[in-house]
Amino acid sequence: MPKPRHQRTIRNDLESIPDELKRFLKLDTYSLLIKGNCGTGKTTLSLTILKTLKATKNFFYISTRTSPEQLFSYYPWLSKFVKPADDIQFSKADEQLSHPYFEDARLDEPESLFERITNELMDIKSPIIVIDSWDAIASLMDKESRINNERVLQTWRERAKAKIIFITEGVQESPLDFMVDGVLELSNDIYSGTHFRRMSINKLRGVAIDNTSYLFSLKDNMVRFFHKYVPSRYTLTAPNAVETVYPATETAGIVSLKSGFIDLDVTVGGGLRKGDIIFMETSKILSNLLPSLFLEKIIKEFIYKDGGIFLRSSPVLFHVNNAVDLIQHRDETNNPVSRYVGPLSTISNVDESESKPGITCLGDFLESGSNRQVLNIMGLSDLEKEMVDLNLSLHDIVGLFKKHFALTFVITDGEQDICKYLPITDIDLKFELIHGTLILRCTLPPESVYGVNYNEDSRGMQLHKIL
């Protein structure tokens, strides 16, 4: 059975690279330098580029630091990506190799290895050559010989219309920086106490550079870049475009308390717990749809599986028009069904027949004795107002929430002080910008940071832990 379209799109999104680099890699011929200190992800990026280019056979990977067997052990996805060489003629020595496109050059002399590279270029057998790392070869040459050999490679590469990717250790400039067509610098940085990985684009000849830096993760031993934050891209998907019908007999009373984000669920112990109170902090400089987009998967879980939604009208939560889209779906007869159980005054165009009569506030709902699993979504100002209306202390109202709601999300606008509420908070989440990239910081329980990607075609927000 084919996988749903949105699942396929999400996978492609995870493996995507920045547009500037993608345009550069499509050029007929180029030389690219990937540099950075130890452990910044240079080898992983070079292998990810090969995968992006779909170079399953027409490449030559020279490794001076590890054996091909170790590479395939460290990067299991390589065995699915690199195809057998059945249709290519190799020498008898090559036929004995388990990975003929990967050269174990740890013990090779620079002269013989350089000759092998030039032969590949002249024979045009391998239009993509990765040298990991060039330092190990060049360090055994004197300065003049190194520069001359680098010039020779550039000339032969251009004549053969090949592509060469050099990997070097350290970030200091060298003559190679000025010779190659593109330079990428990888680093492990710290920002506001957060550790993250960053790629700086120093140059890409022939390509306009819109953004000079991108955050990325090495989760699953593959480079995953995070998009630059563009507010206009953060819009709710049309509900009917991803509609799923769940027969009532299979779904009633089986609401999963998963956030919808695998990495976040792992951080909080495998999933959310019944009665959890989650604070979500955002900022007025960010899209006010971020809470909606984050909660979209959880809301759909509740509405499809006969749970209820208790929603406030606070402006930091939802646009009114989008609220109706989020809290209803179509049943087996294609009729819209609402799961809204809150006050009708909150959302004026919800069908009254789909909400319990007489519920105008939280107190009415608590007295109604609903036995549904209900998702409670409110702003911090709503929480403070209900404490006054019900004449309850913070401790008492938290007890009611934990008793009557499966989950409670409290949304703030970034300017509200939540310090006094932290003792009653089970999970604290905060949207922030780092170098123009949207992240989600989880400060409770143990601090974790997630890069945020979003695309309408991918059917929702994606979070991936920055590792």
Residues, the chain: 467
For 360, other C-beta atoms within 10 Å of its C-beta total: 12
pLDDT, tens digit (0-9, with 9 covering 90-100), for 378-423 = 888 889 988 998 899 999 999 999 999 999 999 987 777 888 898 9
Element (H, E) at 190: strand 182-191
Q: Which of 203, 225, 247 is the last residue of a domain?
A: 225
**Is residue 432 classed as helix, strand or coil in its secondary structure?**
strand
- Strands, E assignment, 245-361: 276-281, 308-311, 328-330, 336-338
- DSSP β-ladder status, 163-169 and 30-36: parallel
Based on the fold, state whether residues 240 and 383 are members of the same structural domain: yes
- pLDDT for residue 87: 47
Least confident of 167-176, 243-252, 269-278, 330-339: 243-252
Based on the fold, state whether residues 41 and 99 are members of the same structural domain: yes
Q: Which of 157, 190, 225 is the last residue of a domain?
A: 225
Does position 22 have pLDDT exceeding 80, yes or no?
yes
pLDDT, tens digit (0-9, with 9 covering 90-100), for 82-124 = 865 554 444 444 444 567 789 898 888 878 888 888 888 887 6
User: Which pLDDT band holds residue 329 (cuts at 50, 70, 90)?
Assistant: low
State the DSSP code for 124. Answer: T
Only one residue has tokens 């013989």, namely 112
Based on the fold, state whether residues 126 and 274 are members of the same structural domain: no
The two structure tokens encoding residue 49? 């580029």
Does position 431 have pLDDT exceeding 70, yes or no?
yes
Based on the fold, state whether residues 279 and 417 are members of the same structural domain: yes
**Is residue 203 classed as helix, strand or coil in its secondary structure?**
strand
- pLDDT for residue 289: 84
Based on the fold, state whether residues 191 and 144 are members of the same structural domain: yes
Q: Which of 193, 225, 257 is the last residue of a domain?
A: 225
- pLDDT for residue 36: 97
CATH code, 405: 3.40.50.300
Does position 9 have pLDDT exceeding 70, yes or no?
no
Based on the fold, state whether residues 327 and 210 are members of the same structural domain: no
Cis peptide before 445 (omega within 30 of 0): yes
- The whole-model pTM stands at 0.82
| For range 163-186, the mean pLDDT | 96
- pLDDT for residue 165: 97
> Which of 42 and 360 is assigned the larger pLDDT?
42
DSSP string, 153-169: HHHHHHHTT-EEEEEEE
Based on the fold, state whether residues 251 and 161 are members of the same structural domain: no
- Work out how many domains the chain is built from and give that number: 2
- pLDDT for residue 237: 57
Based on the fold, state whether residues 261 and 312 are members of the same structural domain: yes
Based on the fold, state whether residues 217 and 255 are members of the same structural domain: no
Domain residues for the domain of 417 are 232-465
Which residues are paired to 441 by β-bridges?
Answer: 430, 449
Based on the fold, state whether residues 169 and 283 are members of the same structural domain: no
The two structure tokens encoding residue 55? 């170079």
Contact by Cβ (8 Å): 150, 18: no
pLDDT, tens digit (0-9, with 9 covering 90-100), for 231-267 = 888 876 544 434 444 444 444 556 788 898 999 999 8
**Cβ-count burial of 259 within 10 angstroms (0-12 exposed, 13-18 middle, 19+ buried)?**
buried
Based on the fold, state whether residues 216 and 241 are members of the same structural domain: no
263, 350, 405, 407 from 344: Cα distances, Å = 36, 7, 19, 21
Give the whole-angstrom CA distance, residue 151 versus residue 141: 14
Give the whole-angstrom CA distance, residue 60 versus residue 105: 12
CA-based end-to-end distance of the chain: 33
Based on the fold, state whether residues 182 and 321 are members of the same structural domain: no
